[in-house]
Amino acid sequence: MIVVKIFLLLSLIHISHQLNNGLGLTPQMGWNSWNHFGCNINEKLIQQTADLMVSTGLAAAGYQYVNMDDCWQVSRDANGTIEADPKAFPSGIPALVDYVHSRKLKFGLYSDAGFKTCDGRPASLHYETKDANTYASWKVDYLKYDNCYDDGTAPEVRYPIMRDALNTTGRPIFYSMCEWGVDQPALWAPEVGNSWRTTDDIQDNWKSMLNNIDINNEYADKAGPGGWNDPDMLEVGNGGMTDAEYVTHFSLWAISKAPLIIGCDISKMSAATLATLTHPGVIAINQDPLGAQGKKVAFSWSKASNSSTGIGLTNCSTSSLNAQPKRVTWVYNSTDGSIRSNSGEKCLSIENCDTSDGANIVAIDCQINDPQAKCQGKNQQWTVNTVDQTIISQMNNKCLQTFRAAGPAVDVSTCNKGNGQKWTWHSVDNTIENDLNHGCLTQVPELEVWAGDLDDGSVAVLLFNRGNSVSEPITVQWSDIGFPVRDSALVRDVWAQKNLGPYRYNYTSSNIDPHSVMMLKITLYAENAGFKTCGGRPASLHYETKDANTYASWKVDYLKYDNCYNDGTAPEVRYPIMRDALNTTGRPIFYSMCEWGVDQPALWAPEVGNSWRTTNDIQDNWKSMLNNIDINNEYADKAGPGGWNDPDMLEIGNGGMTDAEYVTHFSLWAISKAPLIIGCDISKMSSATLATLTHPGVIAINQDPLGAQGKKIAFSWSKTSNSSTGIGLTNCSTSSSNAQPKRITWVYNSTDGSIRSNSDGKCLSIENCDTSSGANIVAIDCQINDPQAKCQGKNQQWTVNTVDQTIISQMNSKCLQTFRAAGSAVDVSTCNKDNGQKWTWNSVDNTIENDLNHKCLTQVPELEVWAGDLDDGSVAVLLFNRGNSVSEPITVQWSDIGFPVRDSALVRDVWAQKNLGPYRYNYTSSNIDPHSVMMLKITLYAENENNSQAN
């Protein structure tokens, strides 16, 4: 509760570094007296509540705190010690605490960082140490600290004082900061409290609940174990919403990792309320130890005709998730008074012609002057007053307003000349900006997808229909939750507690009612294979001959044969069965084996298929593409005419990389003699995509009849100071081309936590201080404890644990890992005890070997030379700058490509389709941009033979 309702207004973990109480590793769960009882509290109520917490099963479900809010205190004694109301608490607070503790529960109290509490009782400003010591002596476990009647000092100053006082007591007391979000505590409170209010007080209605969770969502990246965003207590069971809306309320709080503090009278809970509050699957998502706050990841519009959409405020820029500029732009017609959205030409309307203050605002099909419409469409007519900046309803003369400085909510109310009722209409872009919080009037899409990572690698997903009128299906795309789009995943309905089956690409729900949700847990399948396809359809295990004959009768020319849902038989046994079945048909059918590289098919598949996947599925991003081609490179000598290494299909044109990166992607596939299988929507190809995919010179290198797979033959390091180098895995021996032993050896300094490369002294680092799972790893100049460095170099500090073999970041407690058995990629992720996160530090040679694939941590040079022989005696060469930041020249030496070093050779730029001239000894390019390539065809001159004899 607050006196003045004002407040200001999408990796991952912020541990409360200075609170040091070890609490709040998951969001707190308990009960608080305020929402239902207000000041009407007493000793009997708290005792009864504690008893009911146990007898109803709430305690067993995880609710542990019994918290008294305002109005328990009445005065201070002569020594300044806070005193409880003797009438309401005749036995005193210590006795009440003992009673709650006797029920195996914990006890919480309330105070305020002002002179008085919000209800005018004695508060803790200037009594912080006294009160903290008193609470500790009473064995209090939890303090809710409000923000009324302060002295004008910023909360950033006042709240740490109580934190320090609590710390000094030595008793772990959960510190719940109730600052209402006014000074955006999510930006500074992780160093102060265990939770912090991001919003004004919740009210027991749909609009208030949505307003609070929408604000809370904006700070999703600020919460994590030890410190949580708090959109206020639960209203579930207080009667202001339907049971279905309470399910939605509870689901939103759960996926958002919000505190689950019950606010109803539990002595009068309905069966539906109890079932909602104690659902084990939903609570498990809230209490997941990873602590990743779920957030909005996608939205879509209703497909129903004449459906209404909500209206709110959002950032006036259109750079937010899935933003559609038209939903924040409007057209005013002064003749009929309509304000129409540019996104669908719906009219700004007072919902249901409601004439009361606080009436809801929606956008709905225009019905102005329609005699059949409710109130004949007068609820859609407005007067825009440019003098006083008001927008006034012609139906009831009330003003359009936002009533909270930080909130997205919009309604109408009696005109009062406040800034919340002033609007600036920007004629340049047709946005309508509120003067109170500078948010712009926006249509809010009805259908939302919320998602958050879980500790076991799964993702919690909430499909939310926030619309008011129409039941509709909602789709979650794998791409929206960070899953490979073609991978198969198990979808589980959390509320129904049942598995819905495997899905690929996405999952679409059945119709979800207005104001309702469907909560899912989605888990990628590991190595499945055989009886069903990866999408769960009938597959060919034990039907090889039948299916092969069917395909031949259909005149099929190509079979891609995947590896999901198998019976445990080795691929070396299963894949030849289909080969033999295809051979028997007599029809030539290209046999593409998609075994994902799990059993190293390059070592046995040349006798079985025409191509074989060497890698897991590619994803449409730079990191995945590089990982796949690096793995594929290891098997270069296994491919040739009739059988090819396959690093997966092309992503060119799908939008996840730049055009220049797609040129690199295509060049690497071409020189590697990889299958060129387009994977984009060719009906929507850009001219750049088409030009890349059809380049005759590059395709000629891929299709060269000699069939010699190009491979890495040389590398060099960037000559630029403070450039970062990539980190990968390589064979622990140093026998590879141009190997430099020092690039795979490291030194650990346990004092400063650095892991330094022996090759150049650079520090192993999480790139850009990224706190998310999957964050990239690089080596860069050491900046530990440098106040000018991003995150002060904490991204370069590690703990090497020789007991469980983990290497843990001191910045975010994530584990260094490789995430694929065959892969070269290295990143950090939530620690999970898998072999991919176990490392053996070999003290003899200072290599760091991964237990999953027995490869060693290595610096990956930025500048590479790839080469492969061609049928006409030339050599195809790729000069590749895989670095992230610096344009640099790259040199190919004749000795590296098998040419006599003194011989003259013609160098041709393949992409530019022009000869660059004759060169001797080597060729050095002009600067090549990061993530870019130069492809060459180098041909010895015929007269070199005579010249060499003469010499």
Give me the catalytic one of 119, 131, 146, 704. 146
459 C-beta neighbours (distance < 10 Å), count: 23
Dihedrals phi, psi of 561, to nearest 5 degrees: -120, 105
3-state secondary structure at position 644: strand
146 catalytically annotated: yes
d(CA 253, CA 249): 6
Beta bridge partners of 383: 392
Dihedrals phi, psi of 728, to nearest 5 degrees: -145, -165
Asked whether 816 and 809 are in contact (CB, 8 A), the reply is: yes
Query: Cα 329 from chain centroid?
Result: 29
d(CA 718, CA 19): 43
519 C-beta neighbours (distance < 10 Å), count: 26
Dihedrals phi, psi of 502, to nearest 5 degrees: -80, 145
d(CA 207, CA 359): 10
Beta strand ranges found along 720-784 (DSSP E): 725-730, 746-749, 754-757, 763-766, 775-780
Encoding tokens for residue 914?
């022009």
d(CA 469, CA 362): 12
HEC string for 828-841: EECCCCCHHHCEEE
In the chain, count H helices and then E strands: 17, 54
Secondary structure letter of residue 820 according to DSSP: S
Distance in Å from the first CA to the final CA of the chain: 94
Alpha helices in 340-477 (DSSP H): none
Asked whether 896 and 938 are in contact (CB, 8 A), the reply is: no
The DSSP bridge pattern shows strands 847-850 and 839-842 to be antiparallel
3-state secondary structure at position 695: coil
269, 215, 207, 265: which is closest to 241 by C-alpha?
Answer: 207
Sign of the dihedral defined by the CA atoms of residues 913, 917, 922, 926, in that order: negative
22, 42, 146, 21: which is closest to 90 by C-alpha?
Answer: 42
Give me the catalytic one of 51, 201, 513, 659. 201
What lies within 8 Å, CB to CB, of 623 at 6+ separation is 776, 825
Catalytic (active-site) positions: 146, 201
